[in-house]
Amino acid sequence: MATFAVPTLWDERGGFSMTIGLDGLECHSALQTGVEVSITDGVPLSKAWYGWWPEYKEDFPYISVSPGDVIDAYVVSTSATTGSVIMVNLSTGNISSVTPTTSESYPLCGRNAEWLVEAVLKDGTPTTLGNFSTARFTDAIACGPNFTYYGPTTGDISAIVQNETFLTFVNTAADNILIQYL
């Protein structure tokens, strides 16, 4: 789970997605949710989404998001091929939940949780990472077997590097993650 404010996209190139999820790094699948911010034909677009990567990504029903909105996001694995995803827009009071499933081809491994900012995919191809200034996850917590809690400081920290140039700086403390666009 995590709480975050949706950052503003400060340029018209590409976009970004604030994403939380289970697996993905060490597994060939991930149950994820997040908020995507991009500009298409000069028009800003913000949307909440969920997905079972690499199988599908869907827009969240019944919830809208805008830059500045504060979001609570939850991802729960109920088995290797089913889960629950909940998105709460604390700024508007909207709540939406779905129960995604996947085929046996993309089961979860149960190895890691993720909190990240990434470039938006358009037609399956990554776009340029847009300038989001600062993104912050708070209350970033994962619960493992026997109610063991994990936070971002116990995991791997990765900045985004493109053409040997750092695009982001990442800092963690307890259950918080700060990601700055450089």
- Quick check: 125 and 35 in contact, CB under 8 A? no
Is residue 118 part of the annotated active site? The answer reads yes
* Residue carrying the six token digits 């190895």: 111
Cα gap 123→94, rounded to integer Å:
28
Report residue 163 as tokens: 């053409």
> Which of 91, 182, 74, 86 lies closest to 135 in space, CA to CA?
182
Q: Pick the catalytic residue from 26, 36, 114, 118.
A: 118
Q: Which residue in the block uniquely carries the two structure tokens 């996850």?
A: 137
* Residues assigned a catalytic role: 118
